[in-house]
Amino acid sequence: MNASPKLVRVTEQGVDWAKVRADFPTLKRTVHGKPLVYLDNANTAQKPHQVIEAVDDFYRNHNANVSRAVHQLGEEATALYEGARDKLAAFLGANHRDEIVLTSGTTMATNLVAYSYLLPRLKPGDAVLVTAMEHHADIVPWQLVCKLTGAHLKVAPITESGELIVDEFVAALTPEVKFAGVAHVSNVLGTVNPVKELARECRKRGIPLLVDGSQAAPHLPLNVKAIGCDFYVVTGHKMCGPTGTGALWARRELLESMPPFFGGGEMIRTVSFEGTTFADSPHRFEAGTPNTAGFAGLGVAIDYLSGIGMANIAAREHALLAYATPRLEAIPGLRIFGKVPDKAAVISFLIDGVHAHDLATLLDQEGVAVRSGHHCAHPLMQFYGVSGTCRASLAFYNTEAEIDALVTAIGRVRKLLA
Ligand code: PLP
């Protein structure tokens, strides 16, 4: 079976970032004849060769369905799949592996909570509290179950600089609020929300809190117990893992109280035409054949990130952000959205008179990949009165030279459009 990568990237001198970067094959390619400068990491992260090889190795050597076959390959596939659960549990600081439901990503995880946990509990007049900076994956599932039950959404506001107004969040935790959802890190602003404090306030009032960790898990050391929330969701493809992988962490007693959301194979104990009894959690939430190859890869991705060390990753990305911010701010007419100190390495920006898509398209011609548009955060765009922004999002494998390339490319585009 494929062993997890030997991590030779961290020495007594610290992390060898050049060696780390060399692990990522995509970063070696060119785009439109220019070296690729990949600054779209908040969208999806690139994969180290160790992860790519783990997926390849799964299909070459271990391919079988999980938990259904007693033969050797079936056992190996199951071990890889269940191994990812163990690794996620350790990575997130869970009490127990059974608190981890493997999902196709964050979107699947929030929908699972919406339909399995929230729907049976909401009544007309109840409310769900979110913040003005949420991704659609932490808005729309709640809206759907609100519509089914006669409940409504409440929104905690943010400041112009992109900071959650904590007092207003707390003031909004009134008795009709039965659930709250908040991003740990905003995918547009980079704001790191004070999730520990928010969880404490929710807990005092008996309101379950879901923290969307999509943009935190790839960048920060995490411990769900220390945060004190009730649900925490992550998506594997932003953590250098394969697409179609992710997880829901939930307190065990909450998971045990939740009925299945999807029905089918793998999630049952017995089935007859008179009725069905279900497997224990978390398997009761994992109907059907999962993305086993993806989870084999995600296990290796987690080893890879842990091998570098999340504190090292956070420090490296902070240094890159500190390098990038003043250089971008020095560009005439450039406005940055999200100016909270100690934010994550996400820089959303616009240039006076230039449409975000035009800017991103021209930057692509220079080999620079940034995302443009609403970033699945329509309400946040409405708050700022813009239809979209450009977003450069950094990862530990980026370099100062790539930030220089971004700045130079923006300069060229400005001249072109002048
Ligand atoms: N939440 C946040 C903050 C995100 O940035 C994203 C992805 O962009 C998601 C949720 C959705 O993740 P996925 O599409 O992998 O389910």
Asked if CATH classification 3.90.550.10 holds for the domain at 17-39+310-417, the reply, yes or no, is no
Instruction: Judge whether residue 279 has pLDDT over 70.
Output: yes
Q: In the Cβ-directed half-sphere of 360, how many Cα atoms lie within 13 Å?
A: 20
CA distance 195 to 201: 10
Domain boundaries defined on the chain: 17-39+310-417, 54-306
**CA distances to 267, 336, 358, 364 from 389, in Å:** 42, 9, 11, 15
CA 106 / ligand 1 centre spacing (Å): 6
Q: Which residue has the CA at smallest separation from atom 6 of ligand 1?
A: 214
Q: Give the contacts of 356 (CB within 8 A, at least 6 positions apart).
A: 350, 372, 373, 386, 387, 388, 389, 390
CA 109 / ligand 1 centre spacing (Å): 10
Exposed e or buried b per residue across 241-272, where buried means at least 16 C-beta atoms within 10 angstroms of its C-beta: bbbbbbbbbbbeebbeebebbbeeebbbeeee
Is residue 240 flagged as an active site residue?
no
Summarize pLDDT for 220-241 with one digit per residue, the tens: 999 999 999 999 999 999 999 9
The whole-number pLDDT of residue 7 equals: 55
CA 134 / ligand 1 centre spacing (Å): 10
With a pLDDT cut of 90, the percent of the chain lying above it is 89
Whole-prediction pTM? 0.96
Topology given in CATH for the domain delimited by 54-306 = Aspartate Aminotransferase; domain 2 (3.40.640)
The whole-number pLDDT of residue 12 equals: 72
- In ligand 1, the atom with minimum distance to the C-alpha of 106 is 16
Summarize pLDDT for 330-365 with one digit per residue, the tens: 999 999 999 999 899 999 999 998 999 999 999 999
Instruction: Find the residues whose C-beta lies inside 6 A of ligand 1.
Output: 105-107, 135, 137-138, 183, 187, 212, 214-215, 235, 237, 376
If one residue of 215, 237, 243 were mutated to test the ligand 1 pocket, choosing by the most ligand atoms within 8 A of its CB, it would be 215
CA 390 / ligand 1 centre spacing (Å): 17
Summarize pLDDT for 49-72 with one digit per residue, the tens: 999 999 999 999 999 999 777 899
The whole-number pLDDT of residue 11 equals: 75
Average pLDDT, integer, range 107-130: 98
Give the DSSP H/E element, type plus range, for residue 86: helix 72-92
CA distance 280 to 282: 6
- 3 pLDDT band, cuts 50/70/90, is very low
Active-site option among 202, 229, 240, 376? 376
CB atoms within 10 A of CB 168: 14
CB atoms within 10 A of CB 238: 26
Q: Which residues pair with 347 in a beta bridge?
A: 392
Q: Which residue has the CA at smallest separation from atom 8 of ligand 1?
A: 43
- In ligand 1, the atom with minimum distance to the C-alpha of 104 is 16
CA distance 368 to 352: 20
CA distance 227 to 234: 15
Average pLDDT, integer, range 162-184: 98
- 129 pLDDT band, cuts 50/70/90, is very high
- 266 pLDDT band, cuts 50/70/90, is confident
CA distance 56 to 52: 6
CA 376 / ligand 1 centre spacing (Å): 8
Instruction: Judge whether residue 8 has pLDDT over 60.
Output: no
